[in-house]
Structure 1
Amino acid sequence: MKPDRKFQSAPVKKIVDEILQNTLKKAKYDPEKVPVLSAKIGNEILAAVKKLEYERYKIVVDVTIGEFKGQGIRVASRSLWDTTTDTYTSASFRNAHLFAVAIVFGCYFE
């Protein structure tokens, strides 16, 4: 079985970029609030991607937020999946106080 419509990275990336921008453009880093903020953003991204109705896809969202002090950062992940049906997209955001990276995985479930 293959999906009728494959998970498309471009529209998902647009959604993630908009959510990160709208939620974090004026945000300041607060280590007490970051766990709640990460969960809120992750849930918002998940709800928006589910509206695209990719049938039989499991959607996994990972949001990382950290304090920005001029450093570089790399976020990496590894997965075992079917390269013909599964894919991901990622987006990042940075302001003077914090950085955020969101990764959305679309894994086809037979």
Structure 2
Amino acid sequence: MFGDMMGMMNKLKETQKKVEETKDRLNHVLVDEQSSDGKLKVTLTANRTIKSIAIDDELLQDKEMLEDYLILTMNKAIEKATRVNEAELAAVAKDGMPNIPGLDMFK
């Protein structure tokens, strides 16, 4: 029994380390998003850190339009980055979970 418990604890520690490594790796995974007309382009990391924003000169003439573009495009980029982030971390967590009878967290 204690051998199984120690094995599970070691597996959990290993999984925790892999999750941290995945988080670090996601700092280098870039997610690009742009407005439907291409006038605003945003790049984020999969950890949702903004890396770059490119704005067409036309948008600089209209503050309200620029704000609308930023909100819409940033929200789409954040959603996309979140999906990538969650999928990567879930895959690592699922692979590293010990087999505990009756605990099927990732079906």
Q: Same fold (TM over 0.5)?
A: no
* Larger strand proportion of the pair: 1
TM-score of the aligned structures, taking structure 1 as reference length: 0.35
TM-score of the aligned structures, taking structure 2 as reference length: 0.36
